[in-house]
Amino acid sequence: MTALLTTKGLSRHFGGLRAVDGVDLALDAGEIRAVIGPNGAGKTTFVSLICGRYPPSSGRIVFDGEDITDMPAHLRVRRGIAYTFQITSVFAKLSVYDNVALPVQRTLTDGRSRGAVHHGAMDALQRVGLASRAHEQAGALAYGHQRLLEVAMGLALKPRLLILDEPTQGLSDGEIENFIALVREIASDATVLLIEHNMQVVMELAHRITVLNAGKVLAEGTPAEIRADAAVQAAYLGTATEAGT
């Protein structure tokens, strides 16, 4: 398979803290890749570098053959990179529908096409199970539903790479099952990079898993290989529960 995204020696330092320290990663088109590790391992900083929230201290990022290391975040969105935040970033005072309509408009050459905006917004909401709540105020949704709304906002951008940061946090068991099915469906036409503490979700979804520890890649492999890795057991899996604590 062809790598859609690669990082080479990617690093980000905050003063003396090496939050991300020389990470090499190759993400294939159509892959579901999970990034796991203990708190403070550098997971969110790593994906923030990919989406352009932070500039790297050193290293390179290549997306679909183009060096995007110094590219502003909004241009990365136009290239097809969408990122849902670890902490919800919905517009609380807007309706659920309007939260999704805004990113839909960014994908249209004619943003004034009301019918196209409506179709795109409702399609994204339908995919995450929120279509019936389209006209509710986003801030009134339960936390788990706000996370799903944020996924819908990412889907509305029609991304080639969708980065999901702790998307199942706050979801019920039934909603998690629906989420697993949703990510599999998303992966039929997009690549997914997933940060997740719920190991059941990781093991069910990921084609491959990258384990970060202290900003470095500790291990990488299939779910079976990662589960059996003694170093990963010692650093993370031995203290992580199935519920993702």
Q: Is the pTM of this model over 0.75?
A: yes
Instruction: Give residue-wise pLDDT tens across range 43-86.
Output: 999 999 999 999 999 999 999 999 999 999 999 999 999 998 64
Span 194-198, mean pLDDT? 93
Residue 50 DSSP SS3:
helix
pLDDT number for residue 132: 96
Residue type, 156: A
pLDDT number for residue 241: 43
Distance in angstroms (rounded) separating the CA atoms of residues 106 and 113: 12
Find the distance separating the first CA and the last CA of the chain, reported in whole Å.
34
- Contact between residue 20 and residue 11 where contact means Cβ atoms under 8 Å apart: yes
Residues 6+ apart with CB under 8 A from 215: 11, 18, 19, 20, 21, 23, 41, 42, 45
pLDDT number for residue 58: 97
Distance in angstroms (rounded) separating the CA atoms of residues 184 and 238: 27
Residue 224 per-residue DSSP state? H
- Is residue 109 scored above 70 in pLDDT? no
- Is residue 19 scored above 60 in pLDDT? yes
Which H or E run contains 33?
strand 32-36
Residue ranges covered by each domain of the chain: 1-80+160-245, 89-158
pLDDT number for residue 162: 95
Which H or E run contains 212?
strand 208-213
pLDDT number for residue 240: 57
Residue 95 per-residue DSSP state? B
Span 159-185, mean pLDDT? 91
Residues 6+ apart with CB under 8 A from 226: 36, 209, 211, 219, 220, 232, 237
- Contact between residue 231 and residue 219 where contact means Cβ atoms under 8 Å apart: yes
Which H or E run contains 238?
none
Fold type of domain 1-80+160-245: Rossmann fold (3.40.50)
Span 207-228, mean pLDDT? 96
pLDDT number for residue 59: 98
CA distances from 69 to 59, 152, 242 (A): 8, 27, 36
Average per-residue pLDDT for the chain? 90
pLDDT number for residue 236: 81
- Contact between residue 69 and residue 79 where contact means Cβ atoms under 8 Å apart: no
Residue type, 172: S
